[in-house]
Amino acid sequence: MTPRSARVVVAGASMAGLRAAEQLRAAGWTGAITLVGDEPHMPYNRPPLSKEVLAGKAAFTSLSFRPRASVADVQWRLGTKAVAARLARNTVELDDGETLSYDGLVVATGMRPRRLSCPGPLVGRHTVRTIDDAQSLRQALTRPAVRVVVVGGGFIGCEVAATAVALGARQVTVVDPLPLPMAGPLGELLAGALLKRHEERGVRFALDAGVTGFTGDDHVTGVALGDGTVLPADVVVESVGSVANTEWLDGNGLDLSDGVLTDEHLRVGGRPEVVAVGDVARFPNARYDGVPRRVEHWCIPTDTAKHAAKTLVAHLTGSTAGLPPFAPLPTFWSDQHDFRLQSFGAPALGKEDVRVLEGVLDGDVVVGYHTGGRLTGVVALGGQAAAVAASRYRAELLKQPAPTA
């Protein structure tokens, strides 16, 4: 039974925080819930920021999630940031000076873009994480004949490059220290096919290259590379990874080396009253090797929220019902130009054994990633037919038993 005065504080009011509140109610929590978020906006969908919304195909106002009726009584503290926590005292301190006490705490503070520390002007340099970021970048990209340099050839970098080409940029160049774009998550075989498709659609690449600085006085005019090359740029997009928003948890003896380390039930630091959700959570996945990892895929906020809510409510209500270890099947997609990347499972764990399962690399293709001969992930590249083909392997991945030690 929920104590009448009990409260759960959810630190972080993006998708992960919203899903956590909804899943707390679904798990039977009837006590108070307070969501704290540093952005002034209600939770919204982030993936379209680098694609449909940036391209002007969808309105910024279309991004907001519609909360379930079950969370109509939740207290929202938007535009307010959690700046410190005292887990031993069950309190969270806010940047407006208020201290919130809690019976349960959900860590959902997510990530922020990593920024380059190279010398040069700041004006003209953009990131893509928030609505405000995307609005500023769209305004810059829609100026006539802009030259765009995207630093970082990962998911966001490749999506922004494709969008910039579609918007009519005069020149779009992607800079990356690796020899192929998205080689980290995809491996060399599929990354090579991806590179070819981008180049065929007008994107240039400066690979095996590092950025040493930015030219210009008040506004960026170029990107200087390690070999002395200077790429002309009116707009620079920094897509060089993310930093976990965990500073507010310092001083509590937690492992914050890469997000927030949790156990197999998303509990933090051995404290049953504290759980973590979303891409800030570094959790072991019983479906694979049990090594704790963060996963920055769109499905993870919902998947982690479902499990963490059950974990937390069971503790707060004194339930003895056991839960199986958290074992999600990661899923991601990425729309670039006129094709899509669609993935199920954990391809990054099987990059040493990559095989074409269906199709051909120059057309619609499905690639399988294997560990010890066991299929651990699939990625489709191409049109709708490739995505449908990849989905057929989802059932096979779900049926596979966890590897034995």
Q: Please give the distance of CA 400 from its chain centroid, rounded to a whole number.
A: 26
As to burial, measured by CB atoms within 10 angstroms (0-12 exposed, 13-18 middle, 19+ buried), residue 2 is middle
Q: What is the pLDDT of residue 404?
A: 56
Domain covering 114-241 in this structure, CATH number: 3.50.50.60
As annotated, the residues of the chain forming the CATH 3.50.50.60 domain(s) are 7-45+64-110+245-317, 114-241
DSSP 241: -
User: Distance between CA 250 and CA 252 in Å, rounded?
Assistant: 6
Identity at 195, one-letter amino acid code = L
pLDDT (0 to 100) of residue 1: 52
Q: Rounded CA gap, 136 and 264, in Å?
A: 40
> Tell me, what amino acid is at 114?
R
**Residue carrying structure tokens 């294997």:** 370
- Element spanning 281, H or E: strand 281-283
Q: Residue 325 contacts by C-beta under 8 Å, 6 or more apart in sequence?
A: 264, 265, 284, 286
Q: Per the structure block, which two tokens stand in for 364?
A: 């619609």
What is the model's pLDDT at position 18?
A: 98
- Give residue 134's pLDDT: 95
d(CA 174, CA 179): 12
CA nearest neighbour of 13 among 52, 51, 64: 64
**pLDDT value of residue 401:** 67
Taking the CB of residue 377, how many other CB atoms lie within 10 A of it? 26
Mean pLDDT in consecutive groups of 10 residues from the start of the chain, 405 residues:
78 97 97 97 93 91 93 97 98 98 98 96 96 95 96 96 97 97 94 97 97 96 97 98 97 98 97 97 93 94 97 91 90 94 94 95 95 94 91 88 61
Q: Which homologous superfamily is 7-45+64-110+245-317 in?
A: FAD/NAD(P)-binding domain (3.50.50.60)
H-run or E-run covering 341: strand 339-345
Give residue 4's pLDDT.
57
User: For residues 260-291, b (16+ Cβ closer than 10 Å) or e, as one string?
Assistant: bbbbbbbbbbebebbbbbbbbbbbbbebbeee
Nearest Cα to Cα of residue 338 among 391, 367, 297, 381: 381
